[in-house]
Amino acid sequence: MKKQAIGLLDSGVGGLTVMKEAMKQLPNESFYYIGDTARCPYGPRPEEQVKAFTWDLTRFLLDKNIKMLIIACNTATAAALPELKRVLKIPVIGVILPGSRAAIKTTHQGRIGVIGTEGTIRSEEYRKAIKKKQQQTEVFSQACPKFVPLVESNQFNSAIAKKVVTESLRDLKRQKVDTLVMGCTHYPLLKPLIQNVMGEQVTLIDSGAETVNEVSVLLDYYDLAEEKTDQPNERKFYTTGSVNMFKDIASSWLKMNEIEVEHVSVEELKGIELNESDRK
Ligand code: I24
Ligand code: DGL
């Protein structure tokens, strides 16, 4: 019998940081990834629009009969996760709760910093998630709108990057946090710089990696985990943008030389209806 895949969605290629971790930790699973590169970035967009875009990607993956959905994008999680969970039958997991849980486990002084896109920080979803679990923890958040363009222009190691990261984190550094959540798919690429600016005493949390840790538990809980069989697993990628550019980034990042990438237009996405049987 063919394996049922896990769906991952993201605003573009950043979610590949989550995909890499997922492929490493869950080698028996099949994955379908969709990146909305044509409409990326989501970070600066209004919440209602991000929610609608996230639904477009979700309907596409549901149509491919996925068994679980991972919202790899922090901005999409902040805007759409509660509604997706409320409406859909399959388990839906976002990156904000796992990142928050890991930060609470890590902090000694109860001072947690959160960085992310404008949309993620504006939503206050990280603060709410942390406070709900540990009322006395102080949460200091900071939008870093310059970080995504920095990574996407291949400058995450440059002198400019160092300057931008130093300036963006200046206020947060004064708050003496002992734990900092990287609440954006792209930030793990800036980790050495962020660590350097914040100091070695600050523990950085990668929300995407934490999410994959929890997926493994959830698969067992719902009895959805694949057993090791001779059946090969699938890794399929879909992009609303350029297939070749997606291929270049994905194959280099995932260290895969043969990678299956298909184009899907935004119009196509909009034409897919939500199946009644996918609703709760
Ligand atoms: N990294 C990201 N986005 C890009 C990029 C990058 N270009 C170089 N690198 N471009 O995100 C975004 C716009 N493109 C996307 C594809 O369609 C057209 C528009 C971070 C990716 C994290 C996995 C740098 C780079 C790379 C390969 C691997 C990793 C990486 F080229 F950061
Ligand atoms: N994937 C987004 C996130 O994690 C970052 C890129 C974007 O703004 O779309 O918030």
Q: pLDDT averaged over consecutive 10-residue blocks of the chain (280 residues)?
A: 90 98 95 98 98 98 98 98 98 98 98 98 98 96 98 93 98 98 98 98 98 95 88 94 98 96 98 97
**Are the CB atoms for 278 and 88 separated by under 8 Å?**
yes
Of 190, 206, 222, at which residue does a domain stop?
A: 206
The residue whose CA is least distant from atom 3 of ligand 1 is 152
Verify that 55 and 102 share a domain, yes or no.
Answer: no
Verify that 163 and 219 share a domain, yes or no.
Answer: no
**Catalytic positions:** 73, 184
Instruction: Tell me how far the alpha carbon of residue 211 lies from the centroid of ligand 1, in angstroms.
Output: 21
CATH number (domain holding residue 65): 3.40.50.1860
The residue whose CA is least distant from atom 8 of ligand 2 is 43
Verify that 34 and 111 share a domain, yes or no.
Answer: no
Is-above-0.95 flag for pTM? yes
- Phi, psi of 182, deg, nearest 5: -85, 95
Mutate to test the pocket of ligand 1, among 13, 184, 189 (most ligand atoms within 8 A of CB): 13
Question: Which tens digits make up the pLDDT trace of 163-195?
Answer: 999 999 999 999 999 999 999 999 999 999 999
Ligand 2 atom having least distance to the Cα of 41:
9
pLDDT at 10: 99
Verify that 90 and 217 share a domain, yes or no.
Answer: yes
Verify that 46 and 67 share a domain, yes or no.
Answer: yes
Q: Which among 114, 264, 265 is positioned nearest to 198, based on CA atoms? A: 114
Verify that 169 and 221 share a domain, yes or no.
Answer: no
Verify that 188 and 111 share a domain, yes or no.
Answer: yes
Verify that 77 and 138 share a domain, yes or no.
Answer: no
Verify that 101 and 125 share a domain, yes or no.
Answer: yes
Instruction: Tell me how far the alpha carbon of residue 229 lies from the centroid of ligand 2, in angstroms.
Output: 35
Verify that 89 and 218 share a domain, yes or no.
Answer: yes
pLDDT at 1: 63
pLDDT at 229: 78
Verify that 226 and 200 share a domain, yes or no.
Answer: no
Question: Which tens digits make up the pLDDT trace of 138-152?
Answer: 999 999 999 999 999
Tally of domains in the chain = 2
pLDDT at 156: 87
Q: Which ligand does the CA of 8 lie closest to?
A: 2
Of 179, 206, 233, at which residue does a domain stop?
A: 206
Instruction: Tell me how far the alpha carbon of residue 163 lies from the centroid of ligand 1, in angstroms.
Output: 21
Q: Could you tell me the residue range of the domain that residue 61 belongs to?
A: 5-94+209-278
**Ligand 1, residues at Cβ distance < 6 Å:** 12-14, 16-17, 37, 151-152, 154, 186, 189, 241-242, 245-246, 249, 252-253
Verify that 47 and 174 share a domain, yes or no.
Answer: no
The phi-psi region of residue 87 (left if phi > 0; otherwise alpha if psi is between -120 and 50; otherwise beta) is: alpha
Q: Which ligand does the CA of 157 lie closest to?
A: 1
**Any atom of ligand 2 within 6 Å of the Cβ of 42:** yes
**Are the CB atoms for 250 and 262 separated by under 8 Å?**
no
Of 180, 206, 232, at which residue does a domain stop?
A: 206
